[in-house]
Homo-oligomer: A and B are copies of this chain.
Amino acid sequence: MIVVMSHKASEDDIEAVLLRLEKNGFKIHLSQGVERTIIGAIGDKTRLGDLGLEAMPGVEKVVPILQPYKLASRTFHEEGTVVRVGDLEIGGNAVHVMAGPCAVENREQLLSTARLVKEAGATMLRGGAFKPRTSPYSFHGLEEEGLKILAEAREATGLLVVTEVMDARTLPMVAEYADVLQIGARNMQNFFLLKEVAKVDKPVLLKRGPSATIEEWLMAAEYIMAGGNYNVILCERGIRSFDNFTRNTLDLTAVPAVKHLSHLPVIVDPSHAIGKWRFVPAMARAAIAAGADGLLVEVHPNPAEALCDGPQSLTPENFSAMMDDLRQIAAVMGRKMG
């Protein structure tokens, strides 16, 4: 960490900073320039947050040098992590597509969707039993009934199940049925929930919050890993920007960026990012071309009748055509579809 002192800092101000750094076990390099004094401090980055240096008199700014995450960092673990879900390997050579409706609406809807996406090449089934909705007056999911339908679809098709957990109280119930626990974008910094899923022996799919920097996203992963669960799959799903033509702005550069910074697998959810099915296949192709390890895609047998997020759902026909393209893009990347 670099501490830049104000050009008005007194000798006492500088002394006080040096003292606090030393007291906290940092090794110090002092540069006294004409314009200002700069203090380099090397030590345990994880304590940095609580040192309070920026509030000390004469301190102009504190510039962190090392990343604040450790377990999630590629420096810590050079090889890419492969997260195992049943027989599947997320982050290995195979590209995995997790498909299904936004919400589990009923048995027929889910089972028919599951069969169709399985046939087209998906390896996992998505579908919400608990739905976070902006309006208190919208459909909020079938809850345990929805989870049971998901489990039945797994039996029927062999697709593994990823579904959202919204709350610590319902976590045991969701963990009983799901193969992968999804943390939704709005819960990315729900630290209580992160600590709870850290204790469960199931892989976690961690969506990026709509206003989370890549660093904050990796810090959320760090929470889960620090709690003992190393099976974290990251999922880019769009960030909030000023342009509202699409629902969010899909930040595909986050894929190679996260692969550079971290060893964790990264997948992409183009459906939620964009909010318009028409642009989903193009961005699914782009995601694989950018190096994503998989996709989370909404498919509905009849989008116009969907209880949730119909406008962003592909029909089974569109999904199947998209999968054909993805197979070819994956081949260019030296990968196969999972």
Contacts of A277 in B (CB 8 A): 55
Contacts of A57 in B (CB 8 A): 304
Query: Are B216 and A134 neighbours in the complex by a CB distance under 8 Å?
Result: yes
Closest B residue to A34 by CB, please name it.
B42
Q: Is A210 an interface residue (CB 8 A)?
A: yes
Among A82-90, A117-125, A282-290, the one that faces the other chain is A282-290
Q: Is A189 an interface residue (CB 8 A)?
A: yes
Cβ proximity bits A195-230 to B, threshold 8 Å, 1 near / 0 not? 100000000000001110111100100110011000
Q: Is A10 an interface residue (CB 8 A)?
A: no
A255→B136 CA distance, assembly (Å): 24
Contact status of A306 and B137, CB under 8 A, knowing A29-B31, A243-B214, A253-B273? no
Query: Are A282 and B290 neighbours in the complex by a CB distance under 8 Å?
Result: yes
Query: Are B304 and A278 neighbours in the complex by a CB distance under 8 Å?
Result: no
Contact status of A278 and B253, CB under 8 A, knowing A52-B310, A54-B310, A288-B289? no
Among A92-100, A148-156, A172-180, A325-333, the one that faces the other chain is A325-333
Per the 8 Å Cβ criterion, residues 26-78 of A in contact with B are 27, 29, 31, 33-36, 38, 40, 42, 46-47, 49-50, 52, 54-57, 63, 65-66, 68, 75
Q: Chain B's nearest CB lies how many Å from the CB of A328?
A: 4
> Which residue of B42, B52, B132, B253 is within 8 Å of A283 (Cβ)?
B253
Closest B residue to A226 by CB, please name it.
B136
Interface centre among A46, A49, A251, A286 (most CB of B within 10 A): A286
A298→B118 CA distance, assembly (Å): 42
Q: Chain B's nearest CB lies how many Å from the CB of A36?
A: 8
Q: Is A249 an interface residue (CB 8 A)?
A: yes
Query: Are B132 and A304 neighbours in the complex by a CB distance under 8 Å?
Result: no
A194→B332 CA distance, assembly (Å): 40
> Which residue of B50, B139, B140, B168 is within 8 Å of A169 (Cβ)?
B168
Contact status of A283 and B252, CB under 8 A, knowing A52-B305, A135-B46, A136-B222? yes
Q: Chain B's nearest CB lies how many Å from the CB of A64?
A: 9
Q: Is A235 an interface residue (CB 8 A)?
A: no
A54→B275 CA distance, assembly (Å): 10
Contact status of A192 and B219, CB under 8 A, knowing A242-B242, A310-B55? no
Closest B residue to A191 by CB, please name it.
B132
Q: Chain B's nearest CB lies how many Å from the CB of A3?
A: 10
Q: Chain B's nearest CB lies how many Å from the CB of A15?
A: 13
Query: Are A65 and B4 neighbours in the complex by a CB distance under 8 Å?
Result: yes
Report 6 cross-chain contacts, Cβ distance below 8 Å, ordered by A residue: A2-B38, A168-B169, A186-B189, A241-B249, A256-B278, A257-B279
Give residues in A with beta carbon < 8 Å to B: 2, 4, 7, 27, 29, 31, 33-36, 38, 40, 42, 46-47, 49-50, 52, 54-57, 63, 65-66, 68, 75, 132-140, 166-169, 186-187, 189-193, 195, 209-211, 213-216, 219, 222-223, 226-227, 239-246, 249-253, 255-257, 260, 273-274, 277-279, 282-283, 285-291, 303-308, 310-311, 313, 325, 328-329, 332
- Besides A35-B42, A38-B65, A166-B191, 9 other A-B contacts (C-beta < 8 A): A55-B277, A55-B304, A132-B191, A134-B189, A135-B219, A136-B191, A242-B244, A253-B282, A286-B286
